[in-house]
Amino acid sequence: MSEQSPASDDPTPDDPFEEIVGEETDRDPDLAVIEAGSRTLRAQAGPPQPDVVPARPEDPETDRALREVEEELATRWGETKLDPSRTRIAALMDVLGEPQRAYPSIHITGTNGKTSTGRMIEALLGAFDLRAGRYSSPHVQSITERISVDGAPLSAERFVETYRDVESFVAMVDERQQYRLSFFEVLTAMAYAAFADAPVDVAVVEVGMGGTWDATNVIDADVAVITPISLDHTDRLGDTPEKIAVEKSGIVKTDARVVLAQQPVEAASVVLRRAVEVDATVAREGMEFGVVSREVAVGGQLITLRGLGGEYPDLFLPMHGAHMAHNASVALAAVEAFLGVGTEHARELDVDTVRQGFASVATPGRLELVRSSPSVLLDAAHNPAGAQAAAAAIGEAFGFSRLVGVVGCSAEKDVRGLLEAFEPVFTEVVVTRNATHRAMDVDELAALAVEVFGEERVQVEPRLDDAVEAAITLAEEEGEYAGAGVLVTGSVFTVGEARLLLGRNG
């Protein structure tokens, strides 16, 4: 800062940053600059973006049509029943005319951070006037969230139309294969067909699980993004980071550019060997790109990133936690790689456009604040690494005097590890279950929670609505101004249901 007082009698009327700092006469000067920066950057990005989680269609006929599609998809193999083969999806792409070849793509795998990174990539591409399609899973509330074009989920009408467009081709492939196409395979085909029909300039595609044999891996992505790898789905992908990395590195194709987040050494080694085998070019977080600095700001954080082409200062990111800053660095490097920064030319991207892109990102269910007095946060952490990142971010950004957890997990996860990660930050935990068939039995979850937290810190409420109400009641015991909060976590499905209960319907 200059030596001139922020409260100068002669503010520059066309400099909103200086005007905002000038208002902060009773604050620490450095903090005033940080907060003013975040507010200015948010102003540059325009008005707040609408909620990206759609509600049920208001039109009864549209709602009926969407429910019919959901019911038909539900008759297929679910996402937890997998056959490690791309034979069926390849056959479907063939009869559809290979729609996934109609546009370039950015392919994302990893254990944690895929969806958040994908949303950031999508927002940055949109800021640079590129029409992006994004495919992700699972959904928070509506199945239509999984396929987005221009930063918004397909409308219910368009989702139904897309399903009906591919339906006869799906039936044709079903008749020729030993097993019918799965739920995820059909949705993947729908996404690729919708992107070709739009048409999009680029597809941002998140794997369902693994990489090599994942249904999404019928694309030859120009950029392969690998977010942090840790232990998850060990029964299918392997029980060490190295084995999991073998599966995930299967998305790296010949001559691709690989954007590699910080990894365990053994996982990074696998990816680097794969890159050498297929003559791909690798950019590594901490080497070719990374986070330079970050400061807590109002509603998120103010970060400076080092990209492939240079440094990008004072980027407002409307999300909390170091893990989100690292996701942002990966997203920026992926967009730079896609646009040729660091290869075809060395210039950095326009920093104001990058700022606008990041400031517009929304990530539902990722430390999302949905209520105040007491504060209620939703976070879709479902494994120990995700829980550790969420716990650290909460401590940094919120500083609750008392934090009550509402936890409902899927049965196949490392639930003990997740509970242990949250134990230092939860004063009490209310265990519950979501409405899906994958939900862990509440009594089994309670037994684990008692082992981790002790019986006096555990409450059992089998219904999620009762669990949320119980947690809010516990938090309110601290008094209105005591700074207590509630975190609902453990599963994307738990978070989605809680989001509806708390009035976030769209």
Rounded to 5°, the CA angle 216-380-50 comes to: 85
- pLDDT tens figures, 148-167: 999 999 999 999 999 999 99
- Per-residue model confidence (pLDDT) at position 80: 60
Instruction: Of 159, 154, 221, 180, give the one whose Cα is nearest residue 92.
Output: 180
Letter string b/e over residues 428-466, b meaning 16 or more CB atoms within 10 A of that residue's CB: bbbbbbbebebbbebeebbebbbebbeeebbbbbeebee
Q: What is the third-level CATH fold of 368-501?
A: Protein-Tyrosine Phosphatase; Chain A (3.90.190)
- Per-residue model confidence (pLDDT) at position 479: 62
- Per-residue model confidence (pLDDT) at position 244: 87
- Per-residue model confidence (pLDDT) at position 57: 87
- pLDDT tens figures, 103-122: 999 999 998 889 999 999 99
Instruction: Of 91, 177, 195, give the one whose Cα is nearest residue 134.
Output: 195
Extents of the domains making up the chain: 60-359, 368-501
Residue 497 · residue 464 · CB < 8 Å: yes
Give backbone dihedrals phi and psi of 334, rounded to 5 degrees, phi first.
Answer: -65, -45
What is the rounded CA–CA span in Å between residue 219 and residue 198? 18
The mean pLDDT of 272-284, rounded to a whole number, is 95
The amino acid present at 204, given as its one-letter code, is V
Q: Is the pTM of this model over 0.95?
A: no
| 46 CB-contact burial (10 Å; exposed 0-12 / middle 13-18 / buried 19+) | exposed
- pLDDT tens figures, 376-420: 999 999 899 889 999 999 999 888 999 999 999 998 889 999 999
Question: Would the pLDDT of 315 be above 90?
Answer: yes
Lowest mean pLDDT among 168-182, 233-247, 299-313, 478-492: 233-247
Q: What is the third-level CATH fold of 60-359?
A: UDP-N-acetylmuramoyl-L-alanine:D-glutamate ligase (3.40.1190)
